[in-house]
Amino acid sequence: MLFLARVNFLNKKQLATSLGRSRTYVSAMCRAGFVFQYGGLTTLEEALDWLRANPDFRVSLVYGN
């Protein structure tokens, strides 16, 4: 029997809430190279993987504040 994992797809606002960050933070992630792979949706796991792969990511580096 085939079992499919249930995946929660998130938009920017939902991802920001899941990460405990602002939508500005998620927008900065996108400007820094994070891609919403599924038609404007992503998973929390993909976002966390990206953040682990980019430990020096800071909003101020993207927007220059």
Residue 6 tokens read as 């249930």
pLDDT digits (tens, 9 = 90+) for 5-63: 788 999 999 999 999 999 999 999 999 999 999 999 999 999 999 999 999 999 999 99
Let me know: does 54 contact 61? Beta carbons within 8 Å: no
pLDDT of residue 46: 97
pLDDT of residue 58: 95
Q: What pTM does this model have?
A: 0.86
Closest C-alpha to 15, from 31, 27, 3: 27
Q: What residue spans define the domains of the chain?
A: 12-63
Half-sphere exposure of 34 (CA within 13 A, CB side): 30
